[in-house]
Amino acid sequence: MVLSGVQIIGALFGVLLLYLAFVHQKRREFTIKEWIAWSGLAMVFIVFAVFPQILDPITTKLRFFRTLDLMVILGFMFMVIAIFYTYTLSRTNQKKLETIIRAEAIGKTLKSLTKKK
């Protein structure tokens, strides 16, 4: 079995992702569940990079010409979902922060008004 350049790069990316997940878990930045999820994703990525023929039944069923086409479309779908999720988290945190800052500002204003009387 001879691996192409794209397969080697994909496998190396998966190994890097696996290593980063391990490092973050060791630093206790990830819980065990998060580490398992990221490690599982990395291993699936490595398997699909090294053995893309695993996806051939799906590729033919969906009438793609190549497995790479399927992987690119799935990658774009994942990126859109990840960006949307990150955006919604950011907006939620922004609203919470505005509420906290507003409450703090009102509290300081009330304290300064009561001290002046």
Share of the chain above pLDDT 70, in %: 98
Q: Are residues 116 and 73 in the same domain?
A: yes
On whether residue 57 sits in a domain, the answer given is no
Q: Are residues 83 and 45 in the same domain?
A: no
Model pLDDT for residues 73-87, shown as the tens digit of each residue: 999 999 999 999 999
Assign 117 a pLDDT band (cuts: 50, 70, 90): low
What is the rounded average pLDDT for all residues in the chain? 92
Assign 14 a pLDDT band (cuts: 50, 70, 90): very high
**What is the sign, positive or negative, of the torsion defined by CA atoms of 81, 82, 85, 88?**
negative
Model pLDDT for residues 87-110, shown as the tens digit of each residue: 999 999 999 999 999 999 888 888
How large is the C-alpha radius of gyration of the chain?
24
On whether residue 91 sits in a domain, the answer given is yes
Is-contact 54 48, C-beta < 8 A?
A: yes
Q: Are residues 38 and 72 in the same domain?
A: no
On whether residue 113 sits in a domain, the answer given is yes
Q: Are residues 72 and 111 in the same domain?
A: yes
SS (HEC) of the chain: CCCCHHHHHHHHHHHHHHHHHHHHHHCCCCCHHHHHHHHHHHHHHHHHHHCHHHHHHHHHHCCCCCHHHHHHHHHHHHHHHHHHHHHHHHHHHHHHHHHHHHHHHHHHHHHHHHHHC
List b or e across 77-87, with b for residues whose CB sees 16 or more CB atoms inside 10 angstroms. Answer: eeeeeeeeeee
**Total domains present in the chain:** 2
On whether residue 60 sits in a domain, the answer given is no
Model pLDDT for residues 46-80, shown as the tens digit of each residue: 999 999 899 999 999 999 998 889 989 999 999 99
| Enclosing domain of residue 21 | 1-50
Q: What is the mean pLDDT of residues 4-15?
A: 92
